[in-house]
Amino acid sequence: MSSDTLKYPGLNLGSGHGSDHNKAETKIFGFWVFLMSDLIIFGLMFATYVTMNNPMSYAGGPEPKDFINLPSAFAQTMLLLISSLTFGFAGLAIRFKQSLVRANFWLIITLLLGIGFITLELFDFVDMFEMGAKPSRSGYLSAFFGLVPLHGLHVTAGCIWILIMLIQLRVFGLNAVTKVRLLCLALFWHFLDIVWIGIFSIVYLGGVA
């Protein structure tokens, strides 16, 4: 037999993990319910952004073309995409019961990539503020600062969560509880990368195309 059936959406621990694998099912399902409600929040922020992305809502203030820094957006996209891969490797290290050092290593790399992403995004916001593109300038910019930093806050929360998991792995090691938490965190991280696809496509690429 070369494969296991899927018990829950996302990376499965697999039958090699015994009862941990079965116990994860309800928790992971619950976390998916959260992710999907979060998806609705993001979706409506996107709808608001698209609605506000017109000359009337620019109110004579900065337009997307004026402040979008495409190289920076590209770098952020790459950081987040690579961090999805490295988190995947961390998940595999746990699924295949490799050393905890290896899981920790990939988690730390993911954390650094996440911090790099947030830093670049903050630099972008500082540039925007300096040129007067503040949330209060126009309805369009309010929508922009409702959507993009909301994602940034999620990534920040994800980074803090990774940090907490690194501590928990050190204190408790890998057990039924920490394994499930890591699976949820992996889902959260991959989910944020999916939301970012929407942001770089609609806000950044759509803004300068």
Partner 1 sequence: MREDTNFEQAVRHYLVGFSLALFLTLVPFGLVAWGELSRPATLMFIGTFGLIQVIVHFRYFLHINFKEQKREDLLLILFSTVLLSIMAGGTIWIMANLAHRMHV
Residue from 74, 123, 129, 172 in contact with partner 1 (CB under 8 A): 74
Residue 3 φ then ψ, to 5°: -155, 155
Tokens for 136, please give them: 């209060």
Burial class (CB in 10 A: 0-12, 13-18, 19+), 136: exposed
Q: How far is the CB of 18 from partner 1 (least distance, A)?
A: 15
| Helix or strand holding residue 54 (H, E) | none
Nearer to partner 1, 32 or 105 (CB): 32
- The position carrying tokens 């988690």 is 107
Residue from 81, 109, 118, 174 in contact with partner 1 (CB under 8 A): 81
With contact defined as beta carbons under 8 Å apart, do 91 and 182 qualify? yes
Q: Is 96 in the site for partner 1 (CB under 8 A)?
A: yes
Here's the x/- map for partner 1, 123-142, by CB under 8 A: it reads as --------------------
Q: How far is the CB of 136 from partner 1 (least distance, A)?
A: 22
Residue from 59, 70, 157, 167 in contact with partner 1 (CB under 8 A): 70
Residue from 23, 89, 109, 174 in contact with partner 1 (CB under 8 A): 89
* DSSP of 87-138: HHHHHHHHHTT--HHHHHHHHHHHHHHHHHHHHHHHHHHHHHHHTT--TTT-
> How close are the terminal C-alpha atoms of the chain, in Å?
50
Q: Which region among 134-142, 149-157, 170-178, 190-198 touches partner 1 (by CB under 8 A)?
A: 190-198
Nearer to partner 1, 74 or 129 (CB): 74
Q: Which region among 36-44, 107-115, 117-125, 169-177 touches partner 1 (by CB under 8 A)?
A: 36-44
The CA-based diameter of the chain, rounded to the nearest angstrom, is 65
Q: Is 146 in the site for partner 1 (CB under 8 A)?
A: no
The Cα–Cα gap between 173 and 188 comes to 21
Applying CB under 8 A, which residues contact partner 1? 1-12, 14, 16, 29, 32-33, 36-37, 39-40, 43-44, 46-48, 50-51, 54, 56, 70, 74, 77-78, 81-82, 84-85, 88-89, 92, 95-96, 98, 187, 190-191, 193-194, 197-198, 200-202, 205-206, 208-209
